[in-house]
Amino acid sequence: MTSAAPQRSEAPQTRAAPLLVVDAITKKFDTPEGTMTAVEHMSFDVAPGEFLAVIGPSGCGKSTLFNIIGGLLDGYEGRVAVAGETVNGPHQSIGMVFQEESTFPWRTVTENVAFPLEIAGQPKAQRTERAKHFIDLVGLRGFENRYPAELSGGMRQRVAIARTLASEPKILLMDEPFGALDEQTRLLLGDKVLQIQDQLKQTCLLITHNITEAVQLADRVLVMTYRPGKLKRMVPIELPRPRSSEIVSSDAFGHYVAQIWGDLREEASRGMRDDEAHMLHEHKP
């Protein structure tokens, strides 16, 4: 294991005015068993150029939070604001990358990436040229005319990221974008995201349940409690930048992973017990 003491990262030290503000969000769902609070009084902010990872056990309301920030879910208490503007519904400043495979199978890589530009009414030649830039950025040059079915899962997810970046959002909001991929691909794609973030100075908010991924990528990691999802702890990751997946072998990295797992373990156990109790109740003879 490479020895590296925790150092201060190059992320904003004196925090600038936040670009994204999540203020006292509470979301409840009506279920057959009664009202279920998915997220409770969740507040945090993200500075311009910052990378924040939100981590929590399964069922803690991470995806609910993703959908609320992305404007896909309404009927919640609290406020989400981007650069001071309250978000009501999908917002052009927020670009979303989804957990599930979300490329359009009937479009080529270029057509997929150019999709937001097409919606914006850009002429074909111009949007194709612009799409090429983002295809290059995610390292898919040479695959412009391929269809998603002809690509691997990791490549398809890179197409989805390039498509979102093509809309030039102020905030890149990602919901476990590498969740369906194997560990090696996940680490390598993490490198790609770091490169892109470094190049574009992109503000990123990553929702994940993967501790390694969160520590590898983020400036801060927000740990959520199990249902209802609340802020348990904010962990600043003071690892040097630029980073790459090689950092996972450092002592400092291990220290952060252990620290976050310490917080998460109790929540994950609670989630598991809850699931088991639920299954016992469901399958009662």
Partner 1 sequence: MNARAKRSLVPFALGLGTLFSAVFLAEILIRAGLVNRFIVPMPSQIAGAFHRVITEEDILHRFVVTARESLWATLMLAVFGIGLGVLLYRVRLLRDATETWVAALASAPTVLMYPLFLVIFGRSERTIIMMGFVAGLPAVILKTIEGLVGTRRVLVNVGRSFKLSELQLFWKIYFPAALPTIFVGMRLGMIFALINIVGVEFLINFGGLGQLINDLAERYDLPGTYAAICFVILVSVLFFFLTDRLEKWLRPAD
CB nearer partner 1, residue 157 or residue 216: 157
Q: Is 151 in the site for partner 1 (CB under 8 A)?
A: no
Nearer to partner 1, 76 or 256 (CB): 76
Query: Quick one: which of 74, 100, 251, 266 contacts partner 1 (CB under 8 A)?
Result: 100
**Phi, then psi, of 97 in degrees rounded to 5:** -120, 125
- For position 44 contacting partner 1 by CB under 8 A, the verdict is no
Omega of the bond leading into 32 within 30 degrees of 0 (cis): no
Question: Interface residues for partner 1 in 47-86 (CB under 8 A)?
Answer: 70-72
Under rule CB under 8 A, residue 134 binds partner 1: no
Task: Please tell me whether residue 98 binds partner 1 under the rule CB under 8 A.
Answer: yes
Minimum CB distance to partner 1 smaller for 108 or for 250: 108
Q: Which of 90, 123, 242, 262 binds partner 1 (CB under 8 A)?
A: 90
Q: How far is the CB of 10 from partner 1 (least distance, A)?
A: 30
Q: Minimum Å distance from CB 12 to partner 1?
A: 26
Count residues contacting partner 1 (CB under 8 A)? 26
CB 204 within 8 A of CB 246: no
Q: Where are the alpha helices (DSSP H) in 19-100?
A: 62-69
Q: Does 174 bind partner 1 (CB under 8 A)?
A: no
Rounded distance, CA 231 to CA 221, Å?
11
Contacts of 165 (CB under 8 A, 6+ apart): 95, 134, 137, 138, 172, 196, 200, 202
CA distance 206 to 215: 11
- Give the DSSP letter of residue 60: S
- Residue 7, amino acid: Q
106 binds partner 1 (CB under 8 A): yes
Contact status: 119 vs partner 1 (CB under 8 A) = yes
Residue 113 beta carbon to partner 1: minimum distance, rounded to whole angstroms? 12
Instruction: Of 194, 196, 106, 193, give the one whose Cα is nearest residue 154.
Output: 193
**Biggest alpha carbon–alpha carbon distance for the chain:** 65
User: Cβ neighbours of residue 266 under 8 Å, at least 6 residues apart?
Assistant: none
How far apart (Å, rounded) are the C-alpha atoms in residues 99 and 175? 5
Q: Which position among 17, 29, 74, 105 is part of the footprint of partner 1 (CB under 8 A)?
A: 105
**Interface with partner 1, residue 107, by CB under 8 A:** yes
Which residues would be at the binding site for partner 1 (CB under 8 A)? 70-72, 89-90, 92, 94-96, 98, 100-102, 104-108, 115-116, 119, 147-149, 163, 167
